[in-house]
């Protein structure tokens, strides 16, 4: 959003909570799954399956996004994308979101509007809607999203179902967001697509349901890093997992130029970088279209290997690390 437009906009404090909410929900078209949207004390969301998959996540300013890097529109898209990826990882279809937004009263109303525009645009890519939410005063921007999903009659795909002799496959791309983050952090110009991929991830929408229909045994969203997230699968399933770098060569090649510019090993981004929101799953048989094999599942103990060896590089994000 242009600075001049933001400066001309009334602030949230000047507009008032209810006027802002009315502006944010006006003329929005809900999908069929949302039979009652914002305007009452609660929304009504239909689930054909009879079961609802629910997940929630938060983005905190200067921890998960920076407004000197991202536009409010970008933040909105990112908030929806990373939550939808969790529903994908369960093998479900995203139906609706509920959003809580906290911001200082001095925030231009136009920035809040741009945030919601980004959310709606990303939700519409999924055929989902934003069924409700809340707006509060806060010292900095906080975006809290709860997402609902429909299993469409299939069993949820858990982290605990991997078994020895199955194959490991990925849908989506790895290392791009981590590369973009380091390019932004080190103020390195160029590499526009990688820089953009840190601001707005591109989960492989629809791949989770395809995996579930294709007999996926276990699945997870790569939010914290491939090695880190695969450890959750290994521990939940009591298996070993061996990742092949040869199978990830396209991901490494995609970030190798940026890695050279930053002066780091690109494998740290591919194997340890999070926020691409690719999906990783284990299959006992043929891998579905849109998925590529990147490793295999071994007998326990629970561990994650890279080319048969322990990985000693960066393994992934931890929320309460420094």
Q: Give the CATH number for residue 233.
A: 3.90.650.10
Nearest to 33, CA basis, from 25, 21, 24, 43: 43
On whether residue 296 sits in a domain, the answer given is yes
Q: Is 275 annotated as a binding residue?
A: yes
Q: How many domains would you assign to the chain?
A: 2
Q: Do 175 and 131 share a structural domain? A: no
Q: Is 125 annotated as a binding residue?
A: no
Nearest to 144, CA basis, from 55, 57, 81: 57
Residue 322's pLDDT is 46
On whether residue 319 sits in a domain, the answer given is no
pLDDT digits (tens, 9 = 90+) for 254-287: 999 999 999 999 999 999 998 999 999 999 999 9
Q: Do 42 and 143 share a structural domain? A: yes
User: Which of 95, 126, 150 is the C-terminal boundary of a domain?
Assistant: 150
Residue 20's pLDDT is 62
Q: Do 146 and 170 share a structural domain? A: no
Residue 41's pLDDT is 74
On whether residue 221 sits in a domain, the answer given is yes
Q: Do 142 and 173 share a structural domain? A: no
Q: What is the largest CA-CA distance in the chain?
A: 62
Query: Which two structure tokens, joined as six digits, stand for 153?
Result: 């009659």
CATH number of the domain residue 70 falls in: 3.30.1330.10
Q: Is 57 annotated as a binding residue?
A: yes
Residue 49's pLDDT is 86
CB 138 within 8 A of CB 233: no
Q: Do 179 and 103 share a structural domain? A: no
Q: Is 62 annotated as a binding residue?
A: no
Residue 12's pLDDT is 74
Q: Is 55 annotated as a binding residue?
A: yes
Q: Do 216 and 187 share a structural domain? A: yes
CB 298 within 8 A of CB 164: yes
Please state whether the peptide bond connecting residue 301 to the residue before it is cis, i.e. omega within 30 degrees of 0: yes
On whether residue 315 sits in a domain, the answer given is no
Q: Do 306 and 178 share a structural domain? A: yes
Residue 218's pLDDT is 98
Q: Do 204 and 145 share a structural domain? A: no
Residues of the chain with pLDDT under 70: 1-7, 16-25, 27, 314-322
Q: Is 70 annotated as a binding residue?
A: no
On whether residue 318 sits in a domain, the answer given is no
Residue 114's pLDDT is 96
Q: Do 72 and 30 share a structural domain? A: yes
Q: Do 278 and 144 share a structural domain? A: no
Domain range enclosing 253 = 166-310
Q: Is 224 annotated as a binding residue?
A: yes
CB 83 within 8 A of CB 126: no
Q: Do 210 and 269 share a structural domain? A: yes
Angle (CA) 250-199-54 rounded to 5° is 95
User: Which of 90, 119, 150 is the C-terminal boundary of a domain?
Assistant: 150
Q: Do 171 and 290 share a structural domain? A: yes
Q: Is 182 annotated as a binding residue?
A: no
On whether residue 155 sits in a domain, the answer given is no
For residue 28, with 0-12 CB atoms within 10 Å meaning exposed, 13-18 middle and 19 or more buried, which class applies? middle
Q: Is 223 annotated as a binding residue?
A: yes
User: Which of 86, 118, 150 is the C-terminal boundary of a domain?
Assistant: 150
Q: Is 134 annotated as a binding residue?
A: yes
On whether residue 317 sits in a domain, the answer given is no
Distance of CA 199 to CAs 150, 187, 203, 224, 275, Å? 28, 15, 13, 15, 9
Q: Is 15 annotated as a binding residue?
A: no
On whether residue 2 sits in a domain, the answer given is no
3-state secondary structure 110-165: HHHHHHHHHHHHHHHHCCCEEEEEEEEECCCCEEEEEEEEECCCCCCCCCCCCCCC
Q: Is 221 annotated as a binding residue?
A: yes
Residue 236's pLDDT is 98
Residue 178's pLDDT is 97
């Amino acid at each position: 959003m242009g600075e001049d437009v933001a400066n001309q906009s009334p602030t949230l404090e000047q507009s008032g909570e209810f006027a802002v909410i009315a502006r944010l929900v006006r003329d929005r078209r809900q999908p069929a799954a949302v039979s009652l949207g914002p305007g009452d004390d609660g929304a009504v969301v239909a689930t054909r399956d009879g079961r609802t998959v629910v997940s929630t996540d938060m983005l905190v300013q200067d921890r998960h996004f920076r407004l000197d890097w991202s536009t409010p529109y970008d933040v909105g898209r990112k908030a929806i994308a990373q939550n939808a990826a969790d529903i994908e990882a369960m093998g479900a279809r995203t139906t609706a979101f509920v959003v809580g937004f906290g911001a200082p009263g001095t925030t231009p109303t136009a920035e809040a509007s741009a945030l919601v525009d980004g959310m709606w645009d990303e939700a519409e890519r999924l055929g989902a809607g934003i069924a409700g939410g809340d707006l509060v005063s806060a010292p900095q921007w906080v975006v809290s999203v709860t997402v609902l999903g429909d299993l469409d009659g299939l069993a949820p795909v858990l982290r605990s179902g991997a078994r020895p002799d199955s194959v490991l496959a990925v849908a989506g791309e790895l290392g791009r967001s981590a590369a973009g983050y380091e390019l932004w952090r080190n103020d390195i110009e160029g590499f526009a697509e990688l820089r953009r991929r840190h601001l707005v991830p591109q989960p492989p929408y629809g791949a989770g349901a395809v995996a579930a229909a294709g007999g996926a045994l276990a699945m997870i969203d790569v939010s914290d890093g491939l090695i880190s997230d695969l450890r959750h699968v290994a521990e939940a399933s009591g298996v070993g997992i061996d990742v092949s770098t040869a199978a990830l060569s396209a991901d490494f090649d995609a970030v190798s130029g940026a890695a050279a510019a930053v002066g780091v090993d690109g494998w740290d981004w591919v194997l340890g970088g999070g926020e691409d929101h690719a999906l990783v799953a284990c299959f006992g048989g043929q891998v579905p279209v849109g998925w590529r094999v990147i490793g295999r599942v071994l007998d326990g103990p629970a561990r994650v290997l890279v080319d048969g060896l322990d990985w000693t590089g960066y393994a992934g994000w931890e929320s309460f690390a420094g």
